[in-house]
Amino acid sequence: MDRSERFQLIERLLRTHRHVTTQRFIEELEISRATFKRDLEYMRERLQVPILYDHEHQAYRFDDKVADREAWPLPGLWFTADELQALMTMDQLLAAFEPGLLAEHTRPIRERVRSLLESSNHSVDDIARRIRILTMASRRVQPANFRTLASALLSRRRLDIVHLRRPAGEKLEREVSPQRLVHYRDNWYLDAWCHTRDALRSFGVDAIEQAQISAKPAQEIDDDVLDRHFASGYGIFGGTATQQAELLFTPTRARWVADEIWHPKQVGQTQPDGSYLLKFPYSQEPELVMDVLKYGADVEVLAPDTLRERIKRELQQASARY
């Protein structure tokens, strides 16, 4: 029986019996008293399982003060693909904060994540060496600017920023009330209320060249409003969805796309010839256009006409270069 299996059995005994003696643990686990003590210490310190010794009953039990035991489930012998990706991605993201403004707060969280990764009898370094999560097209963020944005966000102060508007190559000065920092597709974005435009806007953090905290309090926007504005449209450039995209993928490409999630409200259907029709709402085109173009001849935009014409022009201009 390996260590993870012992952890599971210890927890099961405590869930089944209110009080469990040391001798019973030793007999059930078929281990020495010293091994049991080491396992118990690891579960308490590293996995934060609230196990107490009850002197009155001379046995171990769960802490009655901890009402929600779902908050500290033990990891199983194996993580699912989603769980492993989530834990390793979290570890990498938290590592990016050290040293920095949030390091003091994120370090305990990272230690907890790493202890979960190690709980399957494998060191986190070995897991990281054997299982890789590769990022692509991530853009560099100035650490000082990120700390300023995070500080204003948490202290609820406005920001005066100089932002590079890449499509036009121009620098714009904006006064904004920060609402959220969002990590999306390996890059950071600031969702904010733009006082210059009197509207919600999303700014690429890497394109913010200067940032200064203002003495003015930030304007608060309800979470429901933020969710509707940024989540209902397509991707990070979403706003309130105004159009419905209809994309038809070839039978070959359908074998991949049918399992992809493009939008929470997407509807997909395999056609009689094996092609795949995907429909979803969107508001703005920039990111959607890039995603469609990467499939080349394997996709056709059926609707709306404006998106179809935009893709057609992009392909014609690309073809002209060759």
Kindly state the helix (H) or strand (E) to which residue 225 belongs, with its residue range.
Answer: helix 223-231
Look at residue 76 in the predicted model and tell me its pLDDT: 46
The dihedral built from the CA positions of residue 269, 273, 275 and 279, taken in this order, carries a sign that is negative
Cα(278)–Cα(100) distance, rounded to whole angstroms?
Answer: 42
The dihedral built from the CA positions of residue 230, 140, 262 and 297, taken in this order, carries a sign that is positive
pTM: predicted TM-score of the whole model, two decimal places = 0.63
Q: Which fold has domain 243-320?
A: Alpha-Beta Plaits (3.30.70)
Look at residue 231 in the predicted model and tell me its pLDDT: 77
Residues of the chain with CATH 3.30.70: 243-320
For each of the chain's 322 residues, which pLDDT tens digit applies?
Answer: 677 778 878 888 888 888 999 999 999 989 999 999 998 998 888 777 889 999 999 999 988 776 544 445 555 444 555 555 566 666 666 666 555 545 555 566 666 666 666 655 566 666 666 666 667 777 888 777 888 898 899 899 999 999 998 888 899 999 999 999 988 888 889 999 999 999 999 999 999 999 999 999 999 999 999 988 887 777 776 677 789 999 999 999 999 999 998 988 899 999 999 999 999 999 888 889 999 999 999 999 999 999 999 999 999 999 999 9
Instruction: Describe the strand order of the beta sheet including 187-194 as a list of residue ranges.
Output: 199-204, 187-194, 170-184, 157-165, 208-217
Q: Angle at CA 29, nearest 5°, toward 24 and 35?
A: 100
Say yes or no: domain 3-71 is CATH 1.10.10.10: yes
Q: Angle at CA 251, nearest 5°, toward 134 and 235?
A: 45
Residues of the chain with CATH 1.10.10.10: 3-71
Look at residue 33 in the predicted model and tell me its pLDDT: 92
Kindly state the helix (H) or strand (E) to which residue 192 belongs, with its residue range.
Answer: strand 187-194
Say yes or no: domain 143-221 is CATH 2.30.30: yes
Residue 276: phi, psi to the nearest 5? -130, 120
Look at residue 35 in the predicted model and tell me its pLDDT: 92
Residue (of 34, 38, 44, 57) closest to 11 by Cα position: 44
CB distance 114 to 124 below 8 Å: yes
